[in-house]
């Protein structure tokens, strides 16, 4: 048994990120109002000096004022209604193969935890680690996320997953699409670049990492 780590955005989910699609879904459901839009804009201005070009990825203020339960329910609907049409068939096939082989499959992504959890449930994946958005008394706030697995911080999250599964990280397999996934790729036993961006593609060729491609299709 090996630990198999799947990124979500750009890897399992093709095209626009799952979070961007979820924000659009919230708008369509009437769950994004003036309060959320103002909080989102203020977060960008306030935290730009701190986060720089990553400020939009850290910005979860569009959730502010909503209860965790309400957002989790909407995320479950979102995954069921929207994501099936944009899942990569090649990557889902690999995920199913590892499940059938008895490997420990997990999701690791910077997308919010409630999206990662809902997708994991839909794909019958046992565990997921996503961004842990800030809440107070069960209500989302406009503060930065408490946890955001991205770039080098994915290594810390992967180490947690490996320790929990009692499986060595240096024998794990990781799937990702971005140069930011290269940090994790360097510490696992096998790396697979999925529709990689230009920088990851170049590094994958140099390192001898596998490269796979595939178009989105309905969830199996």
Domains in the chain: ranges and CATH: 3-212 (3.40.50.1000)
Residue labelled with tokens 């399992």: 12
DSSP-assigned beta bridge partners for residue 129: 108
How many Cβ atoms sit within 10 Å of the Cβ of residue 22?
A: 24
Structure tokens at 162: 């490996």
Q: For residue 174, give the nearest of 91, 90, 85, 110 by alpha carbon.
A: 91
* pLDDT tens by residue, 136-150: 999 999 999 999 998
Mean pLDDT on 41-66: 93
pLDDT for position 40: 93
Q: For residue 171, give the nearest of 13, 45, 5 by alpha carbon.
A: 5
Q: What is the dihedral of CA 87, 175, 73, 57, to 10 degrees?
A: -100
Confidence of residue 214 (pLDDT cuts 50, 70, 90): low
* pLDDT tens by residue, 125-174: 999 999 999 999 999 999 999 999 988 999 999 999 999 889 999 999 99
Angle among Cα 203, 209, 210 to the nearest 5 degrees reads: 125
Residue 163, C-beta contacts closer than 8 angstroms, at least 6 positions apart:
none
Structure tokens at 19: 């979070």
On the question of pLDDT at 69 being above 80, the answer is yes
For residues 113 and 135, give the distance between their C-alpha atoms in angstroms, rounded to a whole number. Answer: 12
């Amino acid at each position: 048994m090996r630990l198999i780590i799947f990124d979500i955005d750009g890897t399992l989910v093709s095209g626009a990120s799952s979070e961007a699609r979820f924000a659009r879904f919230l708008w369509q459901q009437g769950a994004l109002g003036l309060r959320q839009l103002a909080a989102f804009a203020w977060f960008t201005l306030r935290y730009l000096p701190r986060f720089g070009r990553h400020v939009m990825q850290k910005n979860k203020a569009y959730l502010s004022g909503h209860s965790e339960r309400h957002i989790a329910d909407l995320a479950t609907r979102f995954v069921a209604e929207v994501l099936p049409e944009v899942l990569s068939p090649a990557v889902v096939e690999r995920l199913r193969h590892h499940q059938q082989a008895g490997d420990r499959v997990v999701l690791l992504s910077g997308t919010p935890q409630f999206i990662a959890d809902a997708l994991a449930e839909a794909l019958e994946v046992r565990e997921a680690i996503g961004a842990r958005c800030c809440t107070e008394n069960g209500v989302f706030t406009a503060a930065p996320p408490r946890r955001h697995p991205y770039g080098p911080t994915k290594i810390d999250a992967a180490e947690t997953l490996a320790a929990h599964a009692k499986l060595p990280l240096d024998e794990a397999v990781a799937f990702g699409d971005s140069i930011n996934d290269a940090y994790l790729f360097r510490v696992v036993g096998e790396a697979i670049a999925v529709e990689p961006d230009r920088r990851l593609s170049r590094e994958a060729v140099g390192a001898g990492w596998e490269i796979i491609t595939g178009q989105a299709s309905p969830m199996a």
